[in-house]
Each structure stands twice: as structure tokens, then as C-alpha cells.
């Protein structure tokens, strides 16, 4: 996710994997590490739900699955992202999609 997007979600503590020093972690490693610091992972990885059994991790996941992930299109989803972060529970996946974002 673009770091600039955090300005649109000031009510949440947001850090990137790079800022945490986790940029070399694969998804499974990242999902195991996250609950020590965070409750929710917001990702634009459109394959995470197919690659991981998310119910086994103690973190909620919000996956944004849109054709174009440039910030201009991600900003259009801020209300949905905000709501998803608020309601997602550990081991749960919420998918945000808008197929016609181009």
C-alpha cells in the first residue's frame, strides 16, 4: 500500500512492512509476525486469499482487489477501507473490490 494513503486514515496507526523491517518476509512469515504489533493487515496482494489459510492467523486481513492500484483509485475506496479495518476480526478476510476502477 502506498505510504501516502495513511494521511487519509489518520485515526489508525499505520506502518508499512518496510518501515517495520519486514520487507523480506514472505506472506506466511508476515502474517505470523503481525499480531505482535498490529490487529489488521491491509494489502493490495490480490492472491493472498489463495496462497494462505488466513483463518489460522491471529490478524484480520483487508485485501483490496482492484485492477489499478494507483493512489488516485485507492483513495476512492477510503470509506470502504475504513469500515473494513474497523469490523474485520482475527482470522477473517474482507475483500474490497471495484472492478471498473480504470
In a domain? residue 102: no
Note the pLDDT tens digit of each residue in 9-65. 999 999 999 999 998 998 889 999 999 999 999 999 888 988 889 999 999 999 999
Residue 36, class by beta-carbon neighbours within 10 Å (0-12 exposed, 13-18 middle, 19+ buried)? Answer: exposed
Residue 57, class by beta-carbon neighbours within 10 Å (0-12 exposed, 13-18 middle, 19+ buried)? Answer: buried
pLDDT given for residue 85 in this prediction: 97
pLDDT given for residue 28 in this prediction: 87
Identify the helix (H) or strand (E) that includes residue 63: strand 60-65
Boundaries of domain holding 28 = 3-97
In a domain? residue 14: yes
In a domain? residue 12: yes
In a domain? residue 49: yes
CA–CA distance, 25 with 71 (Å, rounded to integer):
24
Contact 96, 73 (CB under 8 A): no
In a domain? residue 54: yes
CA–CA distance, 84 with 9 (Å, rounded to integer):
12
The one-character DSSP state at 21 is: T
pLDDT given for residue 84 in this prediction: 98
Note the pLDDT tens digit of each residue in 63-93. 999 999 999 999 999 999 999 999 999 999 9
In a domain? residue 44: yes
Domain count, the chain: 1
Amino acid at each position: 500500500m502506498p505510504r501516502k494513503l495513511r494521511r487519509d486514515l489518520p485515526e489508525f496507526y499505520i506502518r508499512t512492512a518496510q518501515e517495520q523491517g519486514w520487507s523480506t518476509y514472505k506472506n506466511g512469515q508476515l502474517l505470523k509476525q503481525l499480531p505482535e504489533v498490529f490487529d489488521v493487515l491491509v494489502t493490495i496482494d490480490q492472491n493472498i486469499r489463495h496462497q494462505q489459510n488466513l483463518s489460522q492467523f491471529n490478524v484480520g486481513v483487508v485485501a483490496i482487489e482492484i485492477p489499478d492500484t494507483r493512489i488516485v483509485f485507492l483513495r476512492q475506496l477510503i470509506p470502504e477501507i475504513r469500515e473494513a479495518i474497523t469490523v474485520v476480526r482475527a482470522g477473517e478476510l474482507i475483500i474490497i473490490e471495484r472492478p471498473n476502477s480504470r
